[in-house]
Structure 1
Amino acid sequence: MRKLVTITLFCALMFIASSAWAQNSGTITGTVTDEETGEVMPGVNVSLVGTTKGAATDKSGIYKITDLANGQYRVKATYLGFGSFESDPVTVEAGKTVTVDIQLEKTVWSGNEVVVSASKGRSAEKITDAPATIEVIDDQQLSQSASFNTGELLSRLKGVDYVRTGVYGTGINVRGFNSAFNTKVLQMTDGRLSTLIATELPFGLMEPKIKEDIARTEVVLGPSAALYGPNAHNGLINTISKDPRNTEGTTVVVGGGSQEQFTGRLRYADEITEGVGLKITGGYTRGKEFAYTDTVYFGSQASREIGLEPDFDVLKGEAGLYFDVGDESDIILNYGGSNSNYIGVTNAGRNNIKDWQVHYLQGRFSSENLFMQVNHTWSKTDDTFAMNQRTQNYLTFKNAGFSEEEARERSFTEQWAGSSPSNGVALDRGSVFKDDSRRLAAEVQYNNNIGNFNYIIGAQYQRDIANSKGTYLLDSDGNSDIVINQIGFSVQLEKTLGFGGLKAIFAARGDNHDKYGFNFIPKAGLLRVGEKGTWRFTYGKGIAAPTILNMEMNLFGGIVLGNGEGFTLSDGSTIDPIDVETIQTLELGYKGTPLSNLFVDANAYYNFSEDFLSPLNNIVPQAFSGGPIVTKRGDQPISELQSGIVQPGDFVLTYLNYGKVNTYGFDLGLNYFINDEISIKMNYSYFDFSLDKSDLSNDANGDGEVQTTDLPINTPKNKISLGLNVNKDKFFGSIFGRWVQSYNFFSGINVASETNRDITVGGDPVVENARVGRDWNDGPLGGFVNIDISGGYKFSDYVTVSAQVTNLFGSEVREFVASPTIGRMAMIELKANLPTF
């Protein structure tokens, strides 16, 4: 409470000081419109030449630049896809307002788009001035893509490790430490967390938003925890939706393609009365995955997965009301939900996602200086199951002579220990995941400036309430929720230094977690803003707090347990409970236009990472040869958690903290605009690491030897992409190719590696095209060149046809473990944009 009072008083003092300053300064305002259509243009960046002053236009296309000293200024406006505008000098006097209206002409030039994610301010900033490396997928790219899957466009961004797990499944990671259960890149939509409650995994396919309602997606590379909280560890994906009051009309999309794909989507938006906007969206997508069945091992026995359902489908929709409440203020109310069926890859085998529902309610208030929101997210499934564990269970029943029908039915919940139906006992080895979890979150943020000193202060609250109905968490019979509260306070200060175009930025977050107490997360940067671009040097810290699953997991009769309490062994030794993982990053970057038709975005970074959260490890590997066993988890006897096991405590898989490693790399992006219709884009990324093999804290599996598999780097060292984009009259098209260097991947039971007999996993040496531990090793990932081609034709303002072919030449594209080889895919869509009358 004392912290909250202090912040409130600080806000009041800043507001009073800001008001006093405003009386002695002038203002420039105006409206920005599309020269061709006359429509107002929200989100346009407007700045004053030779200064760092600027603003972005609001939903009505209006901008306002305040706190200007007496003098003459030239107004400049830039926006993605439009030519820049620069006015004649205008004179500003104290206490007066000058109006400069602007019309922009459409072009293919990009590089000065407006973003909000890098600084989390409600007022936008030019991407070149952002204190972070940030990539944008804009409305034009989305609208010209002939696919329901927006994740495909992430492959075209530099610094991003993009993988495809099938027809529908895509994944993203940033700057290393990837896994088949990756929570290090935070996903948000319109300010709310788009992550599952217990696991913190991104919604991904479950996200209720359809492509046609996305204004843009911004991807921030590197730690963003100082502004967005824990788990914005390696990066952030922030999706911003469209406002119905300036995107009116009805959009209907129907599409189909190979792998029996079909999609139908609808977006309706209208200003139903002055200042009140309504939008309703919906979508249904289905198809069939590429043929692939994973191998499951039970002892020395190998089998194919049972219960494999290659068909996928997702039903989703949203509704929103937008109210203009005066004085540039809005109240926005939204609901969204989805129901999904597909195959999900994890580091313990594949899951059959069955009727997994995600819903949210969100309320927002925003004005020029204040933003507030509250949201409620809930997640529900009753029939999702782990195919790997179910197959193992099935084999025990079949081996004991049970009928096919009974073996399949009982494999959902039990494993048979015995030689026949009459000689044995059923063990608790449930393969079904149930979920009935909720999240409550709230945020308040205030931003303002005093002269050239800008500040943003905020507070966030999050309450996660997980319930697995006793299936995969330590919530007993499902009647006891697992509750974690977090509260955070953040501040960001930005000061123009007044010489050489220098600008200093400092941000910090104090975050208090029920389990992990207080963490201080700083960020700082120095920018030099010039006419042709901006140089920046930044420092940032990120943390990854263990998820509820990491802390409170209970799988397969207590064999897999979360490590939120620590363990005691029979020899009296202890294993500490897991703590937060940290990363600190130094980054040097440049973004700008050194030549009139060349846009350059480059960065180099160095990371210091420590206290990794390990993959699942057996913490008593010597138990079967007379070594110590586990006797307690926290204060609870292990026998109570492994009640169906003959010798409780002789096998426990859990998570640990371990090690430290330095990683480094650089990214280079070049956009060359041949003319107003044709552009070429090239991206290159390099990543490497330095591992001290003499430091036994890096020995994740406790075998006394540090191996490269102990640290889940799982990232290609080099990757390159090249694209050609054409927008000519009513035609648009692109050719995009990428090369990903081959690389080794280790995550839980999953192994994808070249032969290296000096490395062992699960007791087996790593050999390509052979069994390694509990997985079949098909060899390294990557090592391919992939070409995609797309095009479309806009027949009128109302009808557009687009088509694309992914993996045009049918290359051998193997992007992820426990996933099929990605073959050639074709898709065609018909889109009708109907005006609202």
Structure 2
Amino acid sequence: MKKLFLLLTIIGSFVVGAQTTGKIEGKVTLEDGMPMSGATVYIKTLDKGTVTDFDGNFILDDIEEGLYDVSISYVGFETVMQSVTVSAGQTTTLNTTLKETDSMLNEVIITSSKQPQKITDVPASVSVIRAKDIQEFPSFNIGELAARQKGVDFVRTGVLGTGINIRGFNSAFNSKNLQITDDRVSMLIATGLPYGSFSTVTKDDVERVEILLGPNGTLYGPNAHNGLVSTITKNPRTSEGTTFVFGGGSQNVITGRFRHAQVINDKLSYKVHFERTAGREFQYVDSVYVGNTAYTEKNLDRDFDALKYGGAVHYKTGKSSELIGYYGHSNNTNLAVTNAGRNQIKDWTLDIAQVKFVSKNFFANTYYTWSRTDDTYAINQRTQNYVSFIENGFSEEESWSRALYEQWVPAFGIAIPRGALFKDASERFNAEAQYNNNWDKFYLTVGAQYQRDMADSDGTYLLDQDGPIEIGQTGVYGQFEYKLDNGWNFLLGLRADNHDLYGTNFLPKAAITKSVDAGTFRLTYGRGMAVPSILNLKGNLFGGLVLGNGEGFTLSNGNTIDALEVETINSFEAGFKGQLSDRFYIDVSAYYNMSENFISPLRNIADAANNVYVTEIGGTPIDEVSPGASASPALLTYSNFGSVDTYGIDIGLNYYFSDALRASLNYSYFGRSLDTDDLDNDGNLDGVVLESELPINTPSNKFNLGLHYNKNKFYGAIYGRWIEDYDFFSGINVAAETQDLDGDGVNEIVENAQVGRTWNYGPLGGFVVDANIGYSLNDNVSFGLNVTNLFDSEMREFVASPAIGRLVSFELKYNVNFFKNKKNSTD
């Protein structure tokens, strides 16, 4: 027995003596001591790393003896670099505290590759709205922060109505920039429009917004065409506490918000949020024309009301895996701009239910969305219908009631279908699974996505009299990265996307980046596509005045309009993001896009003056598809233009005068080249292609300059924003300078005059100054004030919308973490 013991001792001593590796372990926390789950711990020289578990702990095993630089990073927080010495057979402890980043180059984002990446390594042009930016912005509408980002066309249609466009053609119904929230598509089902005020997420629950410029369809699918806007909300485990907010401002705005997040135990945490905002829209009444006679919008309701609430439960299924359940609801009553006049939104609700599983290497996500409204209507069309009845002897009550469905034709003494009512009972199902891993310098991401849209308007604004319109699409993708120690990174990606109507389309992506001491150079190629929305394909508005183009049209003169095809874009970009000095940061990119089959805004394809009418749709007599459509003096639809090239530059500069004071400057230029030999670009169908026939709806030059201050208890910013005047055409809406569109010597567009069915106030654009300031009374209470258009400048930002005057808002915020205080007193 003694001999056996002696032998084991000798063997043990030999093993210990021969051991040459040790390990590093530790914990990553926030400044308040909260554990940081999912932080990345990485040793670049060994290309070895891990992520922290839900308690913030990590272990790196089998590390050879030596001195190493270890980086610790997390999305939205400053990357920390620490040197540690590893000894054989020993455990080195490395505990780290992360704080929100103030440096744009230390920031980590997740949207570009669906994996955490330092922003300088991302092979795309990216703008980030951080949690700190949102917290210090005392407005009930965080959409305004998009106006301060480079490469983004920001527009405002009212108090709550804000929208963005990225690098290209715009319209009142713009669905070419995909918007997602926590891996959920945030676009309305039938129209494909961004949620906007329909969002179920409240401001205080938003962790960050990442805006990617250019095509990002390889990982995200159709309609990440010109860009991608990703909203990421807070994890309750790293944002525990309670927030109460009361706010208000001009236009009778009153808002109240509440958010609560709590960690129940080592496995379970949850959050809930609530918001109610009400107010009165700017004074503006659009003109509604019946012939050449102008009428005001009938019974215009300028009061708006937005209600939203939701919550999520997070359950740890393992040290690095989590199961998340989410539900959100919104209810909206407001005014909405469309390309056929304004809509009176009445109690339009949106509900979302989601279940998501997240682990180190695997991600699975499924969610269901449903949309409901019964009383929304088109103001322009209902007003026209009302006029037709009231001027022919009908009572006020009957005229207004029948105006929802019909229009009176005195020449024949009958009413024809001209429905203005919009109902919606649409639903959508989405599912996604993804696997990612890396082996040494090789990184792999593969996944699959499925989406089924079930649009149901009960025959009010879609060709769905026979039941809901169902369209499915499936995409599979793979992305491969090879990262070398010398700073060169190579990326290849490919997506195959199969659509029920359009078959399979391929979306490739490629990028080369080179990191140097000052920053990173990038050269990228991406292909994107915009699939026509259900409204584009199957719309049936106002008794056939507006029809979708899913099957093509035949005109009475023998001409035909082809059915809509998928719009594609091939984009090439070169850029640099880096640090030119200790205080000077630059992000610059230049791009060239080649678009095919650009999907137009609404275009009139009938010409009553020359006796040209639509006779068939898809080979079927048009009255069998949409009764009464042939009686329309005009017929608006969507079509594909041909080849159009666009190009531009985006420049973002930031200079830190001190840790407290920063200046930012953003400039963008956008240009285009139209193929005048391609008759698909003949906007007015007269056989001649003119430069003016394809609406750009985007300013050629835009510029903003800002100053940001944050020290001790004070914070604030002032921003000047200039947008070069530009013309905007979208359906019946026109905002343009006086011009001759067809070169015949007659001005078809006249500024400050009637143009078609609306009034033209002239080009959009101008200069405004916005400012905000805040003060933290203590750790729990803060007060902020925001002024949009500080000097009350005359600036119209969108068609069928008021000139946005000075808008003042304030917020009083109370933050408290009862549970932290209780834990500390217990300790």
Q: TM-score when scaled to structure 1?
A: 0.91
The counterpart of 1:636, out of the listed 591, 613, 620, is 620
Which residue is 1:481 aligned to?
468
SS of equivalent to 1:268? strand
Note the C-alpha offset of 1:519.
0.4
The counterpart of 2:479, out of the listed 492, 498, 506, is 492
Task: Report if aligned partners of 2:654, 2:665 keep a CA contact under 8 Å in 1.
Answer: yes
Single out whichever of 799-808 and 442-451 deviates more from structure 2: 799-808
Query: What are the within-5 Å matches in structure 2 for residues 500-515 of structure 1?
Result: 500-515=486-501
Task: Report if aligned partners of 2:274, 2:310 keep a CA contact under 8 Å in 1.
Answer: yes
Question: CA distance change for structure 1 residues 760 and 328 in 2, over 3 Å: closer, same or farther?
Answer: farther
Counterpart check, 1:230 vs 2:214: no
Counterpart check, 1:699 vs 2:676: no
Note the C-alpha offset of 1:788.
1.4
Question: CA distance change for structure 1 residues 569 and 90 in 2, over 3 Å: closer, same or farther?
Answer: same
Describe the superposition over 1:747-770 as per-residue Cα deviations: whole angstroms up to 9, x where unpaired: 111111111134589x96111111
Describe the superposition over 1:380-425 as per-residue Cα deviations: whole angstroms up to 9, x where unpaired: 0011111111111111112212222222221111100016xxx710
The counterpart of 1:304, out of the listed 271, 296, 318, is 296
Counterpart check, 1:242 vs 2:234: yes
Describe the superposition over 1:791-825 as per-residue Cα deviations: whole angstroms up to 9, x where unpaired: 11111221111111111111112111110011111
Question: CA distance change for structure 1 residues 246 and 399 in 2, over 3 Å: closer, same or farther?
Answer: same
Work out the CA distance in 1 between the residues paired with 2:130 and 2:814. 20
Single out whichever of 736-745 and 167-176 deviates more from structure 2: 736-745
Counterpart check, 1:668 vs 2:651: yes
Opposite residue 630 of structure 1, the aligned amino acid is V
Note the C-alpha offset of 1:104.
4.4
Which residue is 2:4 aligned to?
none
SS of equivalent to 1:256? strand
Opposite residue 406 of structure 2, the aligned amino acid is E
Opposite residue 631 of structure 1, the aligned amino acid is T
5+ residue gaps, structure 2, are 1-19, 820-827
Query: What are the within-5 Å matches in structure 2 for residues 617-628 of structure 1?
Result: 617-621=603-607, 625-627=610-612
The counterpart of 1:544, out of the listed 514, 520, 530, is 530
Opposite residue 481 of structure 2, the aligned amino acid is E
Describe the superposition over 1:445-495 as per-residue Cα deviations: whole angstroms up to 9, x where unpaired: 00001111000000001010000011011111xx51100011100101000
Question: CA distance change for structure 1 residues 432 and 125 in 2, over 3 Å: closer, same or farther?
Answer: same
Task: Report if aligned partners of 2:76, 2:108 keep a CA contact under 8 Å in 1.
Answer: no
Which residue is 1:745 aligned to?
728
Which residue is 1:806 aligned to?
788
Which residue is 2:183 aligned to?
191
The counterpart of 1:522, out of the listed 508, 514, 535, is 508
Note the C-alpha offset of 1:65.
7.0
Q: Identity over aligned residues, as a percent? A: 51
Note the C-alpha offset of 1:567.
2.6
Which residue is 2:697 aligned to?
714
Which residue is 2:27 aligned to?
31
Query: What are the within-5 Å matches in structure 2 for residues 61-76 of structure 1?
Result: 61-62=56-57, 72-76=67-71
Query: What are the within-5 Å matches in structure 2 for residues 283-682 of structure 1?
Result: 283-418=275-410, 424-476=413-465, 480-498=467-485, 500-570=486-556, 574-621=560-607, 625-627=610-612, 629-644=613-628, 651-682=634-665
Note the C-alpha offset of 1:497.
3.7
Which residue is 2:118 aligned to?
126
Note the C-alpha offset of 1:59.
5.2
Describe the superposition over 1:756-787 as per-residue Cα deviations: whole angstroms up to 9, x where unpaired: 134589x9611111111222111110022x11
Note the C-alpha offset of 1:32.
2.6
Opposite residue 96 of structure 2, the aligned amino acid is I
Work out the CA distance in 1 between the residues paired with 2:83 and 2:316. 33
Counterpart check, 1:773 vs 2:762: no
Which residue is 2:709 aligned to?
726
Single out whichever of 357-366 and 822-831 deviates more from structure 2: 822-831
SS of equivalent to 1:787? strand
5+ residue gaps, structure 1, are 1-23
Question: CA distance change for structure 1 residues 62 and 138 in 2, over 3 Å: closer, same or farther?
Answer: farther
Opposite residue 262 of structure 1, the aligned amino acid is I
Question: CA distance change for structure 1 residues 416 and 730 in 2, over 3 Å: closer, same or farther?
Answer: same
Task: Report if aligned partners of 2:178, 2:225 keep a CA contact under 8 Å in 1.
Answer: yes
Task: Report if aligned partners of 1:461, 1:486 keep a CA contact under 8 Å in 2.
Answer: yes
Single out whichever of 714-723 and 486-495 deviates more from structure 2: 714-723
Task: Report if aligned partners of 2:388, 2:409 keep a CA contact under 8 Å in 1.
Answer: yes
Single out whichever of 673-682 and 546-555 deviates more from structure 2: 673-682
Query: What are the within-5 Å matches in structure 2 for residues 155-170 of structure 1?
Result: 155-170=147-162
Task: Report if aligned partners of 1:764, 1:773 keep a CA contact under 8 Å in 2.
Answer: no
Work out the CA distance in 1 between the residues paired with 2:753 and 2:669. 30
SS of equivalent to 1:412? coil
The counterpart of 1:265, out of the listed 257, 260, 271, is 257
Counterpart check, 1:831 vs 2:827: no
Note the C-alpha offset of 1:241.
0.8
Q: TM-score when scaled to structure 2?
A: 0.92
Work out the CA distance in 1 between the residues paired with 2:87 and 2:685. 69
SS of equivalent to 1:657? coil
Which residue is 1:816 aligned to?
798
Question: CA distance change for structure 1 residues 54 and 261 in 2, over 3 Å: closer, same or farther?
Answer: farther
Work out the CA distance in 2 between the residues paired with 1:230 and 1:31. 41
Opposite residue 290 of structure 1, the aligned amino acid is F
Counterpart check, 1:110 vs 2:93: no
Work out the CA distance in 2 between the residues paired with 1:43 and 1:328. 7
Task: Report if aligned partners of 2:22, 2:86 keep a CA contact under 8 Å in 1.
Answer: no
Task: Report if aligned partners of 2:71, 2:82 keep a CA contact under 8 Å in 1.
Answer: yes
Question: CA distance change for structure 1 residues 60 and 599 in 2, over 3 Å: closer, same or farther?
Answer: farther
Which residue is 1:4 aligned to?
none
SS of equivalent to 1:195? coil
Question: CA distance change for structure 1 residues 343 and 29 in 2, over 3 Å: closer, same or farther?
Answer: farther
Task: Report if aligned partners of 2:749, 2:755 keep a CA contact under 8 Å in 1.
Answer: yes
Which residue is 1:205 aligned to?
197
SS of equivalent to 2:348? strand
Task: Report if aligned partners of 2:661, 2:708 keep a CA contact under 8 Å in 1.
Answer: yes
What value does the CA root-mean-square deviation take over the aligned residues?
2.5
